[in-house]
């Protein structure tokens, strides 16, 4: 038996979950770069609030910094899609990585020299918001190209498994860095991960190129091109119904997760702060478990039911949580919620890659992200007001029931229920 034949046979014997690592150099490059980048972002995600409060001791300042990041991120998304579909995606991602790397090192330098102010941090947050608004649609479109049909399910699952793993490790390391050294050091580590991501993206050459399937002789305006993804989405019931539904489902689920659950842990149940961290870690464990299970098979049937029932299971778990004063059971419930949410996320990701042509993927991804993110700040404000008006437990029950009602309505549509 020749070495080449032996190599082919060994690849055939690789479990389905790990096939992307063996079959695709492009996947390895994209996966390694993104995994490390998420790790760095997870570190700074826990450090930024500590840094802001050390500078100002103000919750208003924290809200200002987050708005400075989120607003340009949302505003650029409609335009990011057409940019992603017009230029080399790998080059665009490398550009954003270099800029984000520079911003991270600037924060580190200013912080260590004692010159960092809340105004400078907010200005850098604006730049980072713009860069992330460009990077995410490009990364989504690149996944659609690199995650080819033969490895798509496993590639999406492995990608999500690594992301959840980094989101578990990153905050713990971030807290250790602040305790042992200083907060700015975390931004230096984040900058290094962006640099590694940039190097990994150098291995993606032809994958970043845009291949036009059809040449359109008609000229269209830039604004019309920016929203061209809407026309593509309208042609498929699964796409437009799901994006529309999750504009509202996300308001309910993220409002519960970000606003009400911290209140539930610290005020309603009077648990120590570390219990909140333990309970929330269950969400990442559940998501990782879903990714592992999803990646064990090349294809899944009844994807519409799997996706929406996953969200329904999470909504049911939210309904039980106010009546359970046991940290272990609460952690288990958040694990179930994470498993259900990730089941939806993986089905959605693979369905986008199956249904949308590569040359239009950036525009569709940007519209998808706009639908997911645009109303979330409004949802946070509404959830806070609603919980204050009727009580946290009542608000959690109402929002959970509303989530289940929206899912039931969507599943009444045959194209959603029978999506395979």
Q: Which of 261, 340, 329, 356 is nearest to 307 (CA)?
A: 340
> What Rg value do the Cα atoms of the chain yield, rounded?
22
pLDDT at 9: 39
Dihedral of CA 392/395/400/401: which sign? positive
Name the class of domain 14-207: mainly alpha
pLDDT at 60: 62
pLDDT at 166: 82
Would the CATH topology of 14-207 be identical to that of 228-417?
yes
pLDDT at 59: 52
Distance from the first to the final alpha carbon of the chain? 41
Tokens of 300: 């899944």
Q: What is the pLDDT along the chain (420 residues), one digit of tens a residue?
A: 444 434 443 445 667 767 777 788 888 888 888 888 888 888 787 777 667 767 776 656 666 777 778 788 878 877 887 888 888 888 899 999 999 999 999 988 988 888 888 888 889 889 998 998 888 888 888 888 888 877 888 888 888 888 878 877 776 777 677 777 877 888 888 899 999 999 999 888 776 676 654 444 455 555 565 556 677 788 889 989 998 898 889 888 888 887 788 788 877 888 876 676 678 778 888 888 888 888 777 778 888 999 999 999 999 999 999 998 898 999 899 999 999 998 998 898 888 888 887 777 777 877 787 777 777 767 777 887 888 888 889 999 999 999 999 999 999 999 998 887
Q: Which of 41, 46, 47 is nearest to 184 (CA)?
A: 47
Q: pTM of the predicted model, to two decimals?
A: 0.73
- A 10 A CB-CB count for 104 gives 26
Query: CATH fold of 228-417, please?
Result: Growth Hormone; Chain: A; (1.20.1250)
pLDDT at 332: 94
> Is residue 16 within a helix (H) or strand (E), and if so which, with residue range?
none
Contact 372, 254 (CB under 8 A): no
What is the residue extent of each domain of the chain? Answer: 14-207, 228-417
Contacts of 41 (CB under 8 A, 6+ apart): 170, 190, 193
pLDDT at 63: 63
Tokens of 17: 């979950």
Dihedral of CA 136/139/145/150: which sign? negative
């Amino acid at each position: 038996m020749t070495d080449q034949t032996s190599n082919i046979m060994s690849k055939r014997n690789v479990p389905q979950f790990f096939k992307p690592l063996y079959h695709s150099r492009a996947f390895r490059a994209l996966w390694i770069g993104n995994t490390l980048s998420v790790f760095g972002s997870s570190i700074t995600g826990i450090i930024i609030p500590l840094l802001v409060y050390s500078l100002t001791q103000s919750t208003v300042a924290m809200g200002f910094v987050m708005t400075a990041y989120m607003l340009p991120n949302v505003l650029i998304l409609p335009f990011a899609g057409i940019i992603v579909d017009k230029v080399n995606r790998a080059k665009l991602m490398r550009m954003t990585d270099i800029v984000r790397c520079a911003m991270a090192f600037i924060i580190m330098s200013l912080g260590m020299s004692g010159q960092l102010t809340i105004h400078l941090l907010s200005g850098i947050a604006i730049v980072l918001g713009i860069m992330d608004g460009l990077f995410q649609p490009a990364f989504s479109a690149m996944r659609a190209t690199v995650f080819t049909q033969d490895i798509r399910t496993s590639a999406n699952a492995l990608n999500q498994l690594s992301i959840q793993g980094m989101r578990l490790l990153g905050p713990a390391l971030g807290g250790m860095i602040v305790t042992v050294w200083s907060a700015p050091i975390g931004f230096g580590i984040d900058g290094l991960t962006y640099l590694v991501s940039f190097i990994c993206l150098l291995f993606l050459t032809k994958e970043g190129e845009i291949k036009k399937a059809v040449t359109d002789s008609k000229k269209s305006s830039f604004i019309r091109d920016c929203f061209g993804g809407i026309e593509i989405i309208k042609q498929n019931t699964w796409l437009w119904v799901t994006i529309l539904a999750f504009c509202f489902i996300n308001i309910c689920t993220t409002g519960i997760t970000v606003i009400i659950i911290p209140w539930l842990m610290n005020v309603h149940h009077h648990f120590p702060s570390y219990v909140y961290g333990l309970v929330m870690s269950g969400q990442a464990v559940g998501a990782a478990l879903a990714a592992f299970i999803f990646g064990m098979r090349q294809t899944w049937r009844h994807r519409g039911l799997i996706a929406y029932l996953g969200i329904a299971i999470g909504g049911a778990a939210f309904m039980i949580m106010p009546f359970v004063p046991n940290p272990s059971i609460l952690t288990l419930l958040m694990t179930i919620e994470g498993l259900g949410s990730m089941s939806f996320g993986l089905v959605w990701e693979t369905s986008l890659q199956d249904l949308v042509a590569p040359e239009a993927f950036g525009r569709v991804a940007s519209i998808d992200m706009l639908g997911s993110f645009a109303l979330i700040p409004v949802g946070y404000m509404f959830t806070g007001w609603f919980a204050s008006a009727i009580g946290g437990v009542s608000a959690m029950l109402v929002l959970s029931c509303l989530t289940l009602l929206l899912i039931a309505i969507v599943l009444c549509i045959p194209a959603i229920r029978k999506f395979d």
